[in-house]
Amino acid sequence: MSDTATTPAGLRGLSPPGLLFAVLGAVSLLLPFMTLRANRIVAGEGLPAWQIAEPGITLPGLTVLALGLALGLPASRPALRLGGALLALAALIFLLTNGATALMQDAGDYARVSPASGFWCLLAVTLLLAADALAQMRPGPALRAVLLAGALGALWATLASGLLSELSIGIEYASRASGFARATVRHLWLSLGSLAVAAAIGFPLGIACHRVPAMRAATLATLSFVQTIPSLAMFGIMIPLLGALVTALPALQAMGIAGIGFAPAFVALVLYSLLPVVANTVAGLDAAPKPAIEAARGMGLTPMQRLWQVELPLGLPVLLAGVRIVLVQNIGLAVIAGLIGGGGYGTFVFQGLNQTATDLILLGALPTVLLAMVAAITMDILVDLSRRTPEHAR
């Protein structure tokens, strides 16, 4: 029996995910939308969306939010569903910014206002709706790049406009703007720098493992063992090892290397990065079709020429997939570097944990999540562009 025959007549033509998101959005409205606190540490009072400001603000915002979720219902209109998600997202920002302004009036110099569980749930629902609509649309790499650039541009415009400055996280940022810039640079150095070093080591090692099967087994087994070490334990192991190395070689200290700080975090991230790079390099080279390699051999190409002109280009999507894994992994693991003085966004996360300041934690956590998402989407686009054979021709 077909799905159409078993679907109630009133629900035909509706998107099941869209219907689920609409229900979840309605339930999320029952949760506190914003929290007003006397200061940055104490627990505050949670307020539903219709109580954060006067009806002239909340009613239009809630109406547009409901309309956006309703536009996500038609199953055969993915572009309309995407527009509905963007409309709902705009309504959330409208309610959040205007609610913060209204709640902060006469609230005291130390008062703080923050998004509550209802806002985060609604934000997740709208983003999931947008992701489901994009998956249905199946945009190509170029369109995805344009959409990503547009989303980042809209985010930058929102942050630069000062609309979020009344929020507690905006106040936390304002008092730490220079430190946030330094943490961003350090986080990028940890993530991208460790990836670059791992690629410089891992790609040649992967090629060697592909050529020598005995070396492949020993190398992958060793790197797999390294990968099983918990991240916090790995960072801790690096401290005494590098400390002993600096003691034995004082010249390293003059280069800025120490037992704590940036160096142990960087080395740990490089070690974690090696397995995906090496394993995907081997898998990518293995994926090259045998007839193509034989044809290259028949044309008189040397082993090195076959590697650069045939095997690596054909295995490039798999190699880039390994780079994607490492990049997203390192962006997340770099947060732990803040625990051993390595800097990065983890500095704010652990400071917030020590001070029981949720918004200070978010100041480090949200940019990390955003950076990981942008990196994943960008690498997915590069992987698609590297595929020589269109999907329909396979």
The per-residue pLDDT for range 52-84, each reduced to its tens digit, is 999 999 999 999 999 999 999 998 889 999 999
Supply the DSSP symbol for 189. Answer: I
CA distance 166 to 175: 13
| Contact (CB, 8 A) for 145 and 374 | no
The pLDDT confidence band at residue 14, using thresholds 50, 70 and 90, is confident
CB-based contact 318:325 (threshold 8 Å): no
Confidence of residue 2 (pLDDT cuts 50, 70, 90): very low
pLDDT of 40 higher than 90: no
Q: What is the dihedral sign for C-alpha 119, 121, 125, 131?
A: positive
Looking at CATH, the fold of the domain delimited by 177-393 is given as MetI-like fold (1.10.3720)
Residue 256: predicted pLDDT: 65
Q: Is the predicted pLDDT of residue 393 greater than 50, yes or no?
A: no
| Of 40 and 125, more confident | 125
Where in the chain do CATH 1.20.140 domains reside?
A: 3-147
pLDDT tens-digit series, residues 182-204? 999 999 999 999 999 999 999 99
Average pLDDT over every residue of 85-101: 93
- What's residue 72's pLDDT? 92
Task: For residues 135-153, give the mean pLDDT.
Answer: 91
Q: In whole angstroms, what is the distance from residue 33 CA to residue 95 CA?
A: 9
Quick check: 132 and 18 in contact, CB under 8 A? Answer: yes
Q: What is the DSSP string of 3-53?
A: HHHHS-GGGTTB-HHHHHHHHHHHHHTTS--EEEESSSSS--EEE-GGGSS
Q: Where in the chain is the domain with CATH 1.10.3720.10?
A: 177-393
pLDDT of residue 6: 54
Q: Which helix (H) or strand (E) holds 112?
A: strand 112-115
Give 275-293 pLDDT, tens digit per residue.
Answer: 999 999 998 888 888 888 8
3-class DSSP state of 161 = coil
Instruction: Give the integer Cα–Cα distance in Å for 330 and 191.
Output: 5
- Mutual angle of helices 78-104 and 117-137, in 10-degree steps: 160
**Pair of tokens at residue 268:** 């740990």
Judged against a pLDDT cut of 50, whether residue 133 lies above it is answered with yes
* Chain segment 293-340, per-residue pLDDT in tens: 878 788 878 878 888 888 888 888 999 999 999 999 999 999 988 888
Mean pLDDT over the full length of the chain: 87
Residues 230-279: tens digit of each pLDDT: 888 888 888 888 777 777 777 777 666 766 778 888 988 999 999 999 99
Report the pLDDT value the prediction gives residue 390, as an integer from 0 to 100: 43
Give the pLDDT mean for 87-104: 92
Q: Which two tokens stand for residue 208?
A: 């060697």
pLDDT of residue 82: 93
Quote the percentage of the chain above a pLDDT of 70.
Answer: 93
Residue 25's pLDDT is 94
Whether the predicted pLDDT of 389 surpasses 70: no
Q: Over 60: is that where the pLDDT of 3 sits?
A: no
Q: At what angle do helices 55-71 and 16-28 cross, to 10 degrees?
A: 160
Per-residue tokens: 148: 């990503």
Tens digits of per-residue pLDDT, 192-237?
999 999 999 999 999 999 888 889 889 999 999 988 888 888 888 8
User: Whose CA is closest to 207, among 129, 61, 307?
Assistant: 307
Q: What is the pLDDT of residue 345?
A: 93
For domain 3-147, the question of CATH label 1.10.760 is answered with: no
Q: What is the DSSP code string of 302-360?
A: -HHHHIIIIIHHHHHHHHHHHHHHHHHHHHHHGGGGGGGT--STHHHHHHHHHHT-HHH
- Stated as kind and residue range, the H or E segment containing 114 is strand 112-115
What pLDDT score was predicted for residue 115? 92
What would the mean pLDDT of 18-38 be, rounded to a whole number? 92
Angle between helices 194-211 and 312-333 in degrees, nearest 10: 140
* pLDDT-derived band at 7, boundaries 50, 70, 90: low
